[in-house]
Structure 1
Amino acid sequence: MELKPITHGNNHYEMPLEHGNLHVFANAEVFQSFEDKVFEMADNNLRIPRGKHMSYTPDAHVGIGTCIGTTAVWGMIDGFVSPSIVGVDIGCGMRVHTTTLHKEDIQDKEIRRTLIKAIEKYVPTNERTNTNYADIDIMQVVKYGLKGLPELYRSNEQWLTHVEESTFKFDHAYLENLPPKIQKYAHGQLGSLGGGNHFIEIQYLEIAEAHKDLAAKWGLFDGQVVVMIHSGSRAWGARLGQEFTKVFRAVMQSWGVENPDRDLLYAPIESREGQTYLHLMYSALNFAVSNRHMIAYGVQEAFREVFGAETELPVLYDLMHNYALKEFHRNQPMLVHRKGATRALPPGHFLNTAAYKETGHPALIPGSMGTSSYIMVGKDEGAKNFYSICHGAGRARSRKATKALVTVDQFAQSLKVGTDEEILVNHRSLQTILDECPQAYKDVDQIIDSVVGAELADVVATCKPMVAIKGV
């Protein structure tokens, strides 16, 4: 595809494609690395009528039906909803908890190994192992989110307020349309990590000089130990995704709607199928935020086992990067799809949660395994991209290609194995998680440079990994 981008400056390109214009936020090096396929997929997405905006963040890469790293927006009145532009793992997102510990407090490898064992005791990392929260009613959770958890798990009010949403409200009557056996598949998964790129990392912070005051307001300091969690809605969201792939494909065929990509599925927001998907998607968002909450609960129990019963892990923030939300932009209600994109609201924005109304909320951006992650804050200029930034580094190659190209020794070097700065992992063999090595992903520093240069957000703190816990 012959591409002639319009350059707006500040890492902002606009691609005039056959069916509409795609905005791309990336520095020159990252922009040049995009393969033609991502633009072909964008053009297919732009065939969906009446779109208000479509963009890629610098971590964009090929996905199913739509690239991961996409923001796509329609008006609520006459727009469309697309499961393909939400993603398979509905509600997948990030959570960070702070501690009073300093890096030096856990520098000893034996302390970190003890922490790994303790965390695995409370948080299942094997996908076939259920959690022990028999007192949690999944249906209460999918209806009411964090407020549907038993009092024992929501006694800390701060854990309920420092989140993007504690409860995603929807019409519970739509639960009559749930896929068969969804409760069976999701039973026992609340508070479990999942596989793939999901993780728990213990990190320490390096505060950006320009934002020391903001970091202090957020309770962050140089050398501080924090816990970063990446997980989603597990089988609940996966089953909904599978079900609505079939439903939307069938209804598009019945309407005679075609697209060159059969995996790109969509329907009018006001259609029966669109409304059913949206309401049940919110049930998955409730499951996802509750799942990360319960993972964090287990992590706190592990820290208490190692550092004492009085240990507290305040939540910094919890947010998602796979969803579609009704938001008000340009004085009208819009449905903003973010697939592998993170909302980053600036200080004073009315959509901020009360706890972060003044400062803007922490935007949590993970790196790849063994590289830095970032805590950012949105800027007013982010309005040009509906306040969306990257969601991570973004895959550079497939899992199969990674295993063919990267050796275990190269992976071990990335984790500084054998040195005092070694990043400890919970797997005995690095071969089992080789497809999650840094070489599988883009350079996260280039991704962050792209976002900062586009004036979408600023770095408040860099998170350096010390422990990485992955699912199997």
Structure 2
Amino acid sequence: MVRGGAEYYVERYGATFDRSRAERHRIPVEDDWQIPWGGKGRPERGLEQMGSLGGGNHFIELQRSEQTGTLFVQVHTGSRGFGHGLATNYFELARGEHPELLKDIDLGYFTPESRHYRDYLNAVAAGGNYAILNRLVIFEQVSETFREVFGEELELVYEISHNLVQREWHPEFGDVWVHRKGATRAFPAGHPFLKGTRWEETGHPVLIPGSNKDWSYILRPLAGASRSGFSVNHGAGRRMSRGEATRTLSQREIDDEYREAGIVVNADGHVPLDEAAPCYKASEEVVAAVVGAGLAEVEHRLWPLASLKGVDELKRRKAKRAKQTRQGGKTSEHY
């Protein structure tokens, strides 16, 4: 799973896969790299999470194109507990190398001289492969449902990652390591990496999702993307932290706002406050900045018809109890 990516998907599930539909169908992992099982991160958690969405801002969304009326299904998820566990274990190793310098564990680093340098790059690749496979497995599950319910086939448009460190070519700097955090790749027409692919003359698709109550976008990169390291943001971006949302937003007001907009919220009927629309920037303004900077152009503007998110009920209940304690009141709630 962690070495094969889409190749494992084809081998294990007997699926057909057009490799040109993926940014990277497999990221090479060195044969002698050993997965750091156990530790504080416990990456083995991910072994039972393949084909699952997870919580946070991950989603499966049915969308309709304003331009063509075409229905799209967008899946946003990643490497689940496997990738999170790898990151945690390597953060601990980085802190061990520079205990006097690192005041924040999230600012850890490995220099090329570090014995963990190559191992960490392999871990990033392994996490990327897991994420690729996870999204494709979910795509297969959604496709099967579409066939059963609608009698229609879904066609994969593009599979693309974010939050990776990869070796790439840049016209000014040559071969470089590109660190993308909160960003996704954006290769325009004519980029050497696209030679011989279906995207050679158009550039590959770029996905910028909005909140579950806002537009999402499919764009095509332009030559100006070289100024941003051939990268664009991978979403509208938050304007309110999860903690701030839980502390300041009113559950009743948010639920009413969604209800008045004609949005039906299932499960317990409550919108997750930390994923509610006010937590995110307006996607139209964000995309306008991308277009205005000459990084990409809009191909499709997509409105959400149905959005599926995973919610950690334990965390949600704890947050609710904490808010009640601060407000000095109590309520009853059925799950």
Distance apart, 1:307 and its partner CA: 1.3
Distance apart, 1:407 and its partner CA: 2.6
Question: Are 2:233 and 1:233 equivalent residues in the alignment?
Answer: no
Aligned to 2:181: 339
3-state SS of the aligned residue for 1:226? strand
CA distance in 2, matches of 1:304, 1:363: 26
Aligned to 2:50: 190
| Residues 147 and 167, structure 1, Cα contact 8 Å, conserved in 2 | yes
| Residues 426 and 470, structure 1, Cα contact 8 Å, conserved in 2 | no
Considering Cα pairs closer than 8 Å and 6+ residues apart, tell me whether 1 or 2 has the greater RCO: 1
3-state SS of the aligned residue for 1:157? coil
Question: Are 2:95 and 1:249 equivalent residues in the alignment?
Answer: yes
Aligned to 2:33: 174
Distance apart, 1:331 and its partner CA: 5.0
Distance apart, 1:392 and its partner CA: 0.9
Question: Are 2:143 and 1:304 equivalent residues in the alignment?
Answer: no
Closer, same or farther: CA 260–152 of 1 in aligned 2, 3 Å: closer
Aligned to 1:155: 15
CA distance in 1, matches of 2:22, 2:236: 23
Q: Please list the CA deviations of residues 172-209 of structure 1 after superposition, one character each: whole Å capped at 9, or x if unmatched.
A: 211254445946411221110000110000010022xx
Q: Please list the CA deviations of residues 313-348 of structure 1 after superposition, one character each: whole Å capped at 9, or x if unmatched.
A: 111111112110111112522111111011111112
- Gapped runs of 5+ residues in structure 1? 1-140, 208-221
**One-letter code aligned to 2:59:** F
Q: Please list the CA deviations of residues 104-129 of structure 1 after superposition, one character each: whole Å capped at 9, or x if unmatched.
A: xxxxxxxxxxxxxxxxxxxxxxxxxx
Aligned to 1:322: 163
Aligned to 1:204: 64
Aligned to 2:115: 272
Question: Are 2:137 and 1:294 equivalent residues in the alignment?
Answer: yes
What does residue range 103-122 of structure 1 map to in structure 2 within 5 Å? none
What does residue range 310-389 of structure 1 map to in structure 2 within 5 Å? 311-329=152-170, 330=172, 332-352=174-194, 354-389=197-232
Q: Which has the higher strand share?
A: 1
TM-score, normalising length from structure 1? 0.62
CA distance in 2, matches of 1:399, 1:259: 25
CA distance in 2, matches of 1:280, 1:383: 27
| Residues 240 and 280, structure 2, Cα contact 8 Å, conserved in 1 | yes
Closer, same or farther: CA 239–176 of 1 in aligned 2, 3 Å: closer
- Size of the aligned set, in residue pairs, is 308
CA distance in 2, matches of 1:268, 1:164: 27
| Residues 186 and 234, structure 1, Cα contact 8 Å, conserved in 2 | yes
Distance apart, 1:427 and its partner CA: 3.1
Aligned to 1:40: none
| Residues 177 and 276, structure 1, Cα contact 8 Å, conserved in 2 | no
3-state SS of the aligned residue for 2:134? helix
- Gapped runs of 5+ residues in structure 2? 312-335
Aligned to 1:136: none
Output the aligned Cα RMSD. 2.1
| Residues 396 and 442, structure 1, Cα contact 8 Å, conserved in 2 | yes
Distance apart, 1:355 and its partner CA: 2.5
CA distance in 2, matches of 1:188, 1:426: 26
Q: Please list the CA deviations of residues 62-111 of structure 1 after superposition, one character each: whole Å capped at 9, or x if unmatched.
A: xxxxxxxxxxxxxxxxxxxxxxxxxxxxxxxxxxxxxxxxxxxxxxxxxx
CA distance in 1, matches of 2:71, 2:154: 10
CA distance in 2, matches of 1:297, 1:239: 26
Distance apart, 1:161 and its partner CA: 3.0
